[in-house]
Amino acid sequence: MCLFTETDNAVIQFACKQKTKSSTIKLNRTMSKEIFVAFATQKGGIGKSTVTALAASYLHNVKGYNVAVVDCDDPQHSIHGLREHETALIGRSIYFKALACDHFRKIKKNAYPVIKSNAVNALDDAERMIAAEVVKPDVVFFDMPGTLRSNGVIKTLSQMDYIFTPLSADRFVVESTLKFVTMFRDRLMTTGQAKTKGLHLFWTMVDGRERNDLYGIY
């Protein structure tokens, strides 16, 4: 437990010292009306990419918003890889082509764009993507790497309008997540270095066999 805590603190200290010189975009971005949203946590393997894809698909296909996704989770790029797989599947099958055409005809829009990037270049790539899109996105989702050690993570997160942090009912995950959100709130949000309006935690990987009061205690 002592080693875990020391390692966690070292990661947070490292993240706070990250340089921003690798991006040409100025901090405190002044883009128009797009809302920047990130699903981020200090721990990997907790469902960030899955929730990002679900949220983007729901807002775009069901609720009628225009969205875009910047897949910064380098080198996995699972969301971008999924989009490539879907595109190839549709391209090989007349049946899936018909389904896709019928779907896009019903919602009266194309599929939302998914671009591959990394935490260092995410803001610049998002800016170029928005400028190139004829239909501007209402919401741009950023799927972040699973560790603060990745270069550029803190810089990119500081430009998000909203950050959502998943956590599971595991002691180490909870303590690590609380360290991350506390650091971000105290060192960046309250000091005005981040433009983030909201930082929200939510439960994921909920085990139905667990007592409900356990989550309340956490």
How far apart are alpha carbons 205 and 13 in whole angstroms? 28
Sign of the CA dihedral 71, 43, 153, 135?
A: positive
What's the farthest any 2 CA atoms get from each other in the chain? 58
C-alpha pair distances (Å), 207 with each of 50, 51, 210: 17, 17, 6
- Mean pLDDT in residue range 40-49: 79
C-alpha pair distances (Å), 95 with each of 22, 84, 111, 169: 45, 18, 18, 42
Give the contacts of 32 (CB within 8 A, at least 6 positions apart): 136
Report pLDDT for 47. 83
List strands edge to edge, sheet with 162-167.
Answer: 114-116, 67-71, 139-143, 35-39, 162-167, 198-203
Q: What is the pLDDT of residues 147-186, one digit of tens each?
A: 767 788 888 999 999 999 988 887 888 888 888 888 899 9
Q: Higher pLDDT residue, 6 or 117?
A: 117
Q: What is the pLDDT of residues 66-91, one digit of tens each?
A: 999 999 988 889 999 999 999 999 99
pTM of the model: 0.81
User: Over 90: is that where the pLDDT of 215 sits?
Assistant: no
Mean pLDDT of all residues belonging to the chain? 83
How far apart are alpha carbons 130 and 68 in whole angstroms? 9
Contact 194, 158 (CB under 8 A): yes
User: Over 80: is that where the pLDDT of 37 sits?
Assistant: yes
User: Over 80: is that where the pLDDT of 136 sits?
Assistant: yes
User: Over 60: is that where the pLDDT of 10 sits?
Assistant: no
Domain boundary assignment for the chain: 33-217
Domain 33-217: give its CATH code: 3.40.50.300
- Mean pLDDT in residue range 205-213: 73
User: Over 60: is that where the pLDDT of 24 sits?
Assistant: no
User: Over 60: is that where the pLDDT of 9 sits?
Assistant: no
Contact 16, 4 (CB under 8 A): no
Beta bridge partners of 10: none
Q: What is the DSSP letter of 90?
A: H
Report pLDDT for 35. 95
Instruction: Please report, as a single letter, which amino acid is at residue 133.
Output: E
- Mean pLDDT in residue range 206-215: 72
Sign of the CA dihedral 185, 121, 69, 108?
A: positive
Element (H, E) at 11: helix 2-16
Q: DSSP string of 160-171? A: -SEEEEEE-S-H
